[in-house]
Structure 1
Amino acid sequence: MKTFLHLAWLALTPPILFAQQPLPKPDSSPHKVQFINVEPNVKLEVLDWGGSGPPVIFLAGLGNTAHVFDDFAPKFVPYYHVYGITRRGFGTSSSPLPIDSNYVSDRLGDDVLKVMDALGTKQPVLIGHSIAGEEMSSIGSRFPDKVTGLIYLDAGYPYALYSPSFGDRELDSKDLKRALDAFLVAQSGADMKSMTDAMANVLSEIRLVQKDLETFQTQLELMPHPPDAGTTPAIPFAPPAVIRGEQKYTNIQVPILAIFASPHSTAHLPTMPEDKKAKFAALDQAESAAQAKAFEHLKSAKVVILPNADHFVFLSNGPEVEKHIRDFLAAVYPQVK
């Protein structure tokens, strides 16, 4: 399990703070393992659970590998051909240097497309947990014809679909930087309208970032004090690189099933006073509710809310999640009996 400090450092957003990584266990899952090159010197671990039906591909959350689905993915065989992909930077997949271009979300989405091409899969359904929402939204936004549908397993947060009503400090800060750069260019010219428009854009972005940082400050105030520096665990470089590479997606026009844990179970939160835990849970629910509404605005999306579920919804609420996935697959793959 990640330590609380580890989780806070990764993103300090409620969906990740509530996450608990499953304990490692011997790999007895009925899959084959292969490695597929997605670019020179970068290969990804791909699991193949078999099956003869339409393709389904599982994508893991931040810090996990495709093996997190070792028990869950086989439930969809033999009616579907089921695969899993371990993203770059994790597990036995290659770990390129953590420069932004190596882990930007469109780059990660392109990795999935390269694997799809290598496997010969046509228009699969992608099922992603947590941060995998950004890879699915990247593909669904840019290449909707490449997939039959997308299933978000507590993966529909700002990195997957930006919600103006809640915002996101990473994405809004990037927009603020771009707005400031545009203003600095505009103010050196003679076009007064361009300068005033650029200034108005900066002020708008400042207000968004201010709101984001106020929420972040509240979260920090609720956290327990971190351990001494000497006991702080080492942090792998891939997670922060993935977080820095988040992009803003606002329109995904493919069939979607978005499953949210809202509110998240507080069972895995570190020890804290009950009043602080309640405030933290309220912040968490506010974000998940805003994100659920953002998905509801997409005409192609069905939203499912699982109260008090774990961030790993496919583990804490396995039968429910399995049923929702089966119903969705049956709708987009009507040829499967």
Structure 2
Amino acid sequence: MSRRSCLAGSVLLAFLAAVPLHSQSLAVWRDPSPHTTRFVTVDKDVRLEVLDWGGSGRPIVLLAGGGNTAHVFDDFAPKLTDHYHVYGITRRGFGASGYSATDHPADRLGDDVIDVIDALNLDRPILVGHSIAGVELSSVANSHPHRVAGLVYLDAAYSYAFDDGNGGSIMEIQKLQGPQPPPPSKRDLSSFSALQKYYERVNGFRFPEAELRAQRESTSDGGVGKQRDLPGTALFMPLMTGTKKYTAIPAPALVIFANPHSQGMWVDENTDPSVQTAAKTYSTALEALTERQEESVKNGVPTVHVITLPCANHYVFLSNEAEVLKDIGAFRASLR
């Protein structure tokens, strides 16, 4: 099977898990991405990490998927700075951001974004959200539609972000089980750079090192340690089970779906018949559910612009960077 062949991807399920990468101990390693870091207080004892890559033009705010931090955009964000002033927010409970529980996670996460917009004095930014960040996009759009110029959903418009009862449920998607690659070996865990290469072999693209360091601890000899505790994952189940449903997106929006999803190089190049059979079964089911959700969005919110990227990874901004940058640019040009 060719490297570019496409089977729908289990990586869609990865928004509840995080990924890891690179070498040297945390004490001496420095993030090479050209951003500054500040913290914005949004709640009692909760300060959010905000990255600022600079740039000129309309402000654009990047929101990470579940399990990730704003550092997942470390390589992507600098490519936007010619046309935007680029920011990224790490949601509560992840990375360097603080955490406190809430009974209304959808509203609270959306309010967190508005609090950062206020603190930075941003004038109607474009919000770009990946995966579960569709919750923040839809929350802001429904509660504060005039505070944003537009929304970009990066494989993020599943039922947690738009649910009129006609689409594919994210809970149905979560129940699907695709083949999984073998876990990283002892050699893969010998350094973050070795682990980075492991994930490149699996996915076909790289994750920023700072993002992977936010997920795993470093050992004293520069190796990769255990997964970090991420208290924010407690927010995800109520978001996915639809404790609050969004049936409208009352703001200009670009919705990008990966469909069918790439399952990565590990599946594309695997010759084991059992792996290929399991991948095909998973692909067929996931593709159907994703297509249902696409049609639900198109019919339910005819004002949004929906784009499908065949064979893209769930991390569309990493697997299909050039296409996503072009689509965001065209969307920006269409805004007043």
TM-score for both structures, normalised by structure 2: 0.72
Q: Distance in 2 between matches of 1:24 and 1:157?
A: 32
Q: 1:294 to 1:41 in 2, by over 3 A?
A: same
Which deviations, in whole Å up to 9, do the C-alpha atoms of 1:153-205 show, x marking residues without a partner?
A: 111111111152345376xxxxxxxxxxxxxxxxxxxxxxxxxxxxxxxxxxx
For residue 280 of structure 2, give the secondary structure of its aligned residue in structure 1.
helix
Aligned residue in 2 for 1:62: 66
Distance 1:13 1:243, change over 3 A: farther
The one-letter amino acid paired with 1:136 is L
Deviation at 1:106, TM superposition (A): 1.2
Aligned equivalents of 2:10, 2:159: Cα separation in 1 = 10
Q: RMSD over aligned Cα, in angstroms?
A: 2.9
Q: Does 1:266 align with 2:263?
A: yes
The gaps in structure 2 that reach 5 residues or longer are 1-8, 24-29, 184-225
Q: Is the 8 A contact 1:141 1:252 kept in 2?
A: yes
Alignment-derived partner of residue 144 in structure 1:
145
Residue in 2 that maps onto 1:319: 322
Deviations 1:245-287 (A, max 9, x none): 4431110121111111101012267885322211111121112
CA distance in 1, matches of 2:323, 2:118: 32
The answer to whether the Cα contact below 8 Å between 1:261 and 1:305 also exists between their aligned partners in 2 is: yes
Q: Percent identity?
A: 43
Which segment is superposed worse, 148-157 or 159-168?
159-168
Please point out which of 233, 238, 252 is paired with 2:232.
238
Structure 1 segments unaligned to the other structure (5+ residues):
1-11, 171-211
Residues 118 and 252 of structure 1: CA distance in aligned 2, closer, same or farther (over 3 Å): same
Deviation per CA, 1:94-147: give whole Å up to 9, x if none: 022xx442x611110100000000000021100011110011011112211111
Of Structure 1 and Structure 2, which has the larger fraction of its residues in helix?
1
Q: Distance in 1 between matches of 2:228 and 2:113?
A: 28
Distance 2:275 2:60 in 1: 43
Give distance in 1, aligned partners of 2:115 and 2:292. 33
Aligned to 2:165, the other structure's residue is in SS state coil
Please list, as runs of the form range in 1=range in 2, the aligned pairs for 1:155-304 lying within 5 A after superposition: 155-168=156-169, 219=176, 236-246=230-240, 247-267=244-264, 273-297=275-299, 298-304=301-307
Which aligned runs of 4 or more in structure 1 are off by greater than 4 angstroms? 17-20, 232-235, 268-272
Task: Give the structure-1-normalised TM-score.
Answer: 0.72
Please state if 1:35 is matched with 2:17.
Answer: no
State whether residues 127 and 151 of structure 1, in contact with CA within 8 Å, keep that contact through their aligned partners in structure 2.
yes
